[in-house]
Structure formats: structure tokens, C-alpha cells
Structure 1
């Protein structure tokens, strides 16, 4: 485990800030306050209910092991659709959010209610 720790720390240092900064921009484009992206758990609820415009039940589904994998994919696909992007882009949001969320939040995409 000690051999993996430096790699894990580098991975966290790259992915977490990228995802948080991307969510900040995405939330702002969707008409939400950017600070909501910084509050753990609440940020997921806001992403599901206010950005993706899905039922709060989807936020509950994200808490169920196994089910959360499918629910996260579908929530990210819906976020991509709200910004006029494809389902493939939604898959990118789910798998490589630290890259795709900054592209979404600071790129040319416009939020569509």
C-alpha cells in the first residue's frame, strides 16, 4: 500500500480539483450559485435536481451501491443533454469528469432549460 500512496495522492490532486472547478462553472452556467459545487453531498443533490432537472429520487438512487453506477451514468447523460451535448459526452462526464466538466463549464456550451 505504501508504494501506491504517492500515485493515489497525485491522482487525487489532479482529479478532485478538476471536477470541482468544472462543477463550479457548470453550476454557474445552469443559473446556480457556484458555491453550491463546493458543498459535499449538497452539490450532488443540486446537480441532480437543479442542473439535470431530474426527480430527487435520482439523488437517492446515487446512494444505493450498484444502482449508483447506472444512476450516475444516466444523471451525467442528462446533464450533457441540458447543455446540448451528446450521450457520449455524458459518458465522458461520468468517467472522466475531471476533464469533461471543465470543458462543459468553461466551454461554449449553453444551458438549455
Structure 2
């Protein structure tokens, strides 16, 4: 394989992964937008950094100042999982299985929560 063919293959691979990443990113944004609207919050809040976390904490019934704890290494992991659990509880899904699904398969689980008629915001 010559150098030009290798460069073309690398460029094609980068383009493919970029398009897949863009599609996944749009899917996650649309899903979060819908989840925020189900909770009575403005959907656009999901695309504003830091305010997104504050709104998620609010939906989950957690104090807003936890967002400050998310800037501390190691503690941010614990607070993030606790915030995610509170967020999922607001939709009736706060058990450990749901948290693990949201952590490891968010691209599948968040659209399910957002677009399923079986999932409602319970507060």
C-alpha cells in the first residue's frame, strides 16, 4: 500500500468516526432537551454548560451547589453518580440498574427515557 492510499484510508476513517460522533451528539442533545421539557424546564438549558448541570440537579431534587463539588477531582465522580441517580428518580428510574444503564449506555438509555410513553416525569 502506498503512502497516498494510506492517507486516503486514514482520512476516510476520520470522516466516518466524525459523522458517527456528530450523530450520537445530536441524539444525546435531543434526548436531554426532551427530558428537560418533560420536567417542565426549558429544553435549551441542556446545551448551556454548567447551567445544564444546575438544571439536572434541580430536576433530581439535589442542591444547586453540588455543581461546585463537580470541579473537585474524585469527588466529582461520586457527586455525578448521586446527581444522575436523583435525575433518574425524577423519572421513576432511580435503582442501581438504571444508573448503570445510564452510565454505560447513555446513547441508548437517554433516548428511551426521552421518547418512551411509559416514562413520565414524577418529580
Q: TM-score, normalised by structure 2?
A: 0.75
Q: Distance in 2 between matches of 1:69 and 1:10?
A: 29
Segments of structure 2 that go 5 or more residues without pairing to the other structure are 1-9
Pairing 1:55–2:63 present? yes
1:102 partnered with 2:114? no
Task: Name whichever of 53-62 and 23-32 sits farther off.
Answer: 53-62
For residues 25-72 of structure 1, the C-alpha deviation after alignment (integer angstroms, 9 at most, x for no partner) is 110111111111121221111111x21110113211222222212221
Alignment partner for residue 38 of structure 1, among 47, 52, 58?
47
Distance 1:60 1:104, change over 3 A: same
Higher relative contact order (CA 8 A, sep 6+): 1
Q: Which residue of 2 aligns with 1:71?
A: 79
In the alignment, the residues of structure 1 paired with residue 70 and residue 107 of structure 2 have an alpha-carbon distance, to the nearest angstrom, of: 19
* Alignment size in residue pairs: 111
Who wins on radius of gyration, i.e. which is larger? 2
- What is the TM-score when the length of structure 1 is the normalising length? 0.81
- Counterpart of 1:12 in structure 2 is 21
Counterpart-to-counterpart distance in 2, 1:64 and 1:5:
33
